[in-house]
């Protein structure tokens, strides 16, 4: 079954706070040509150094978020929730314009980005979609954290966390990324943190924009957000969401099974480096995953199935 690459039909703009910088950021999502991938573009720097490809090998920093940079040392941080939304809605090619060095955090989940993508609409392009198929298992570890990619017939993610904090404790989740799975089961899961760590993070130049509006905040075992949790296991679902965003930096959807145990951005990126550096571990294919008519989380418009177009 042939699936075509996708981009946005229209541009769409939003403004939000950077969770680490605390500054307001204007962001515009734009259509991009087939085969170009996801590209971040800084509008506050000279045009010749403004573009940063969203790839695993342009990742520069992995403390509390995923950051990419180009050869001119121009950076964009906190890209993982937006990358997860692109992955979950099946968008292959897009330009992300920003007038600052960080993607706005919005509500701490991917749901606002899914909403923006749906409003912009998604269209087919003239090239077939390219997948990366896992051929053999690759595992990386760091301390007691583990991340694994193994062969499989569809795109799936499984995650397990184990926190000393009893309000979180041990949680597990597992999802096949079929139509609607990302949007319905994962996109609304928010990032989380502990009030006791806030001052330390701010001293490190992080979490300056963090608030109850864009994160689940725990004080001891108490959740400070008035509305409580969106899912009973929102914590582990958000870690799975992060992994989906980090894995999309491979440059194409990965057909296989991802399993993470206490993994984070750094280990997810380490896994991609180990996986993609082993030529026997993977291959490109244009054959879509089995049992998946189209990989995406958005409610597709009636135009989605029309004849392919170029951006």
Distance CA 82, CA 94 (A): 11
Cβ neighbourhood burial of 292 (10 Å; 0-12, 13-18, 19+): buried
SS3 state at 233: coil
Q: How far apart are CA 59 and CA 108, in angstroms?
A: 21
- Whole-number Å distance between alpha carbons of 123 and 301: 9
Distances in Å between the Cα of 224 and the Cα atoms of 17, 49, 199, 227, 256 are 20, 42, 17, 9, 38
What is the CB neighbour count within 10 angstroms for residue 177? 25
Catalytic residue among 20, 81, 238, 265: 265
Q: Which residue is it, tokens 């706005």?
A: 104
* Cβ atoms of 255 and 155 closer than 8 Å: yes
**Residue 81 annotated to the active site:** no
Dist CA 68 CA 118 (whole Å): 25
Decide the pairing of beta strands 94-98 and 38-42.
parallel
Distance between CA 237 and CA 157 in Å, rounded? 10
> What amino acid positions are annotated as catalytic residues?
265
């Amino acid at each position: 079954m042939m699936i075509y690459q996708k981009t946005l039909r229209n541009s769409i703009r939003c403004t939000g706070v950077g969770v680490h910088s605390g500054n307001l950021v204007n962001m515009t999502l734009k259509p991009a040509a087939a085969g170009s991938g996801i590209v971040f573009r800084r509008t506050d720097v000279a045009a010749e150094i403004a573009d940063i490809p969203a790839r695993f090998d342009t990742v520069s920093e992995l403390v509390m978020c995923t950051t990419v940079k180009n050869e001119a040392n121009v950076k964009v941080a906190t890209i993982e929730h937006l990358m997860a939304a692109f992955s979950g809605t099946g968008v292959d090619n897009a330009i992300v314009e920003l007038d600052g060095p960080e993607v706005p955090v919005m509500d701490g989940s991917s749901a606002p980005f899914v909403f923006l993508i749906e409003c912009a609409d998604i269209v087919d392009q003239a090239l077939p979609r390219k997948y990366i198929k896992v051929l053999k298992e690759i595992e990386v570890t760091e301390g007691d954290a583990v991340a694994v990619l193994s062969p499989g017939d569809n795109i799936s993610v499984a995650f397990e966390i184990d926190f000393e904090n009893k309000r979180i404790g041990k949680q597990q989740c597992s999802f096949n990324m079929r139509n609607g799975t990302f949007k319905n089961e994962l996109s609304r899961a928010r990032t989380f943190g502990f009030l006791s760590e806030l001052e330390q993070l701010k001293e490190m130049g992080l979490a300056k924009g963090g608030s109850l509006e864009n994160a689940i905040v725990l004080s001891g075992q108490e959740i400070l957000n008035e509305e409580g949790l969106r899912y009973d296991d929102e914590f582990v679902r958000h870690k799975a969401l992060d992994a989906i965003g980090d894995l999309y930096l491979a440059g194409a959807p990965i057909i296989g099974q991802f399993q993470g145990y206490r993994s984070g951005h750094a280990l997810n990126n380490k896994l991609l480096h180990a996986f993609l550096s082993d030529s026997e571990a993977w291959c490109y294919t244009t054959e879509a995953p089995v049992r998946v008519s189209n990989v995406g989380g958005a409610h597709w418009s009636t135009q989605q199935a029309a004849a392919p177009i170029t951006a």
